Amino acid sequence: MKKILCALFAAMFILSAAVFAGCAKEPGTPDNTTGDATTVEEETQIKDDLPEVSFKGQTFRVVIPNGMDLDIYTEDHETSEPLHDAVFQRNKAVCDRFGIEIEVTTDEYTAIIAAVSRSVKAGSDDFDLCFVQMVAGSSLAQSNLVLPFEKLPFVNLNQPWWDKDIWNGFSIRNNLMMVNGDISPASFSITSCMYFNKAMFDKLDMEYPYELVRQGKWTLDKLYEMTKDITHDEDGDGKVTPDSTRDIYGLSSWYLDVPYSFYYAAGGMLVSKDQDDVPFYDPQLERDTEIYKKIYDVIITNNAYYETDVTTTNFPRVAKTFADGRALFLDAKLSTADELREMDNEFGILPVPKFSEAQTDYKSFVNGASNMICVPATVSSESQREFVSIITEALASEAYRTVTPVLKEKYLKRKITRDAESADMIDYVVRNRVFDMAYVNMHDGVGSYVRDLLTAKSTDISSTFKKYAKNAKKRIESIVKAFDKSLQS
């Protein structure tokens, strides 16, 4: 589906200063484990340094996956939904500021990858900016089909609206082929977190873990202690199953989420960089053995519900088990809170626990379905790159000032949470998102080793690393070569 925005807007929806004042409640201040908070007032004051130019009606062509179109495309009118209207305002402000129209094409994410590939190879120059699914989209960079953002003169990656952690997953020789940040509000919702059942905590006379988080003491060991001996056969049939309407679990989880969220939250990383920012496969057996042992104990030793079936009937059962009041904790994404709205018991939201108290930050895994943005290699002339980089930077900076405050205050904090403390916890969740080149580029393989070991209930990390070593090393080397080719074009 293709649609032209801005030209279709009948009127500008302006959020008044009073509305922003209502949204500008300063979030709770976390401890030093997550760094200093940036208040909403500060976010709305930071400006970009873009030139004031008019492109006289030029069209900025964007392609984006179905279901993730909140990032750029909404209806051409306000809906009184604060987040929707903030995106509306962002789009309209950029259109008015630079005299452009925004043309948006939506399609299935796999079709977008194919369409961009065909367009670049044919030299047909169909798109200016592409929102692509993280894992699938990485193939575009490896095939020399997208530009390094360093070739876009007005994209300033040092600005706060660009996610700094993406360098780990996408940078080679200090060049980025894909970036993320405030330009993609939908990506926040695909960040890993933990939910806990307050009624069960109350029944067990346990303190809610909020203060543990603030003190930097929310760890895998604490999670192990809290879930130990919780899983039990409540209906008396001699087994514990998710199909039961009464059996209880300490943790409910899915095998395409929890292995990654726990591993990366604990500081795991399978690819390192040398002094020239060149990645290499770098499994650290001693470190990962300790990380995996803690994960294994929480999930396998404590008999968590670890769902390995991806069928439509079993995947929703993970969240339903928690929503039905039959799990103390749930590992999922922020967006899962939408599925818990009708839950009878109160729930809270937490970051995924750290490896130990010595670990500085809480880290959050970003699901591979997240959008990333990239610019096709067909954006080749100097004037094209100036145009694309100005509008891309403007969309990101305007989102930082107008969309992100609404996202945090109106959506993440008030709409999907049931208490102020959980709203405070969301700042911990979204502030330190991490990306690993092994996960992004070798999702089924070395990047999934924790998932595969847990599914097999195995602890043989050493043999697993040896099995992957040769192919993983070659894979990373081939990625570097592809990136080098892009840099030379």
Q: Residues 210-250: pLDDT tens digits? A: 999 999 999 999 999 999 999 999 989 989 998 889 999 99
Q: Are strands 271-273 and 175-176 parallel, antiparallel or unpaired?
A: unpaired
Q: Residues 283-308: pLDDT tens digits? A: 899 999 999 999 999 999 999 999 99
Same domain, 225 and 354: yes
Do 119 and 125 contact (CB within 8 A), yes or no? yes
CB-based contacts of 11, cutoff 8 Å, min separation 6: none
Identify the domain containing residue 361 by its residue range.
Answer: 192-365+440-488
Q: In terms of Cα–Cα distance, which of 427, 295, 432 is closest to 361?
A: 432
pLDDT at residue 348, as a whole number: 92
Same domain, 56 and 146: yes
Q: Is residue 19 part of a domain?
A: no
Determine the Cα–Cα distance for residues 263 and 261; give it in Å rounded to an integer: 6
Same domain, 81 and 155: yes
Do 180 and 163 contact (CB within 8 A), yes or no? yes
Is the whole model's pTM more than 0.75, yes or no?
yes
Q: Can you read off the two tokens belonging to residue 73? A: 């495309």
pLDDT at residue 5, as a whole number: 64
More confident call, 42 vs 320: 320
Same domain, 144 and 291: no
Same domain, 226 and 106: no
Indicate the range of 6-20, 179-193, 381-395, 442-456 predicted with least confidence. Answer: 6-20
Same domain, 245 and 269: yes
Q: Is residue 32 part of a domain?
A: no
Q: Residues 109-154: pLDDT tens digits? A: 999 999 999 999 999 999 999 999 998 888 888 788 999 899 999 9
pLDDT at residue 6, as a whole number: 62
Which CATH number goes with the domain that contains 372?
A: 3.40.190.10
